[in-house]
Amino acid sequence: IYCAEKHVGGEPFAVLLGDSITKGPTPCTKQLIDVYEKYGASAISLEEVPKHKVERYGIIKGTEVEKDVYNIEKLVEKPLAHQAPSNLAIMGRYVLTPDIFDKIDETEPGVGGEIQLTDALQKLDAIYGVTFDGKTYDIGNRFEWLKTSIEFAMDDEESKDDLMEYMKKMISQNE
Sketch the domain layout of the chain as residue ranges: 2-138, 141-175
**CATH classification code of 2-138:** 3.90.550.10
Is residue 94 within 8 Å of 136, Cβ to Cβ? Answer: no
pLDDT of res. 85: 94
- Residues near 90 by Cβ (< 8 Å), separated by ≥ 6? 44, 45, 46, 57, 58, 59, 60, 75, 118, 129
pLDDT at 31 (0 to 100): 96
Distance CA 118, CA 85 (A): 14
What is the distance between the alpha carbons of residues 23 and 174, in angstroms, rounded to a whole number? 33
User: Under a CB-based contact definition with an 8 Å cutoff, are residues 143 and 149 in contact?
Assistant: no
Q: What is the structure's pLDDT at 154? A: 93
d(CA 3, CA 78): 24
Integer-rounded Cα Rg, in Å, for the chain is 19
Helix, strand, coil shares of the chain, percent, nearest 5, are: 40, 30, 30
pLDDT of amino acid 45: 97
Q: How far apart are alpha carbons 77 and 40 in whole angstroms?
A: 24
Task: Report the Cα 58 to chain-centroid distance in Å.
Answer: 9
Beta bridge partners of 96: 13
Mean pLDDT by 10 residues, the chain (175 residues): 91 94 95 97 96 91 97 92 94 95 90 83 95 91 93 93 93 87
pTM of the predicted model as reported, rounded to 2 decimal places: 0.85
What pLDDT sits at residue 116?
83
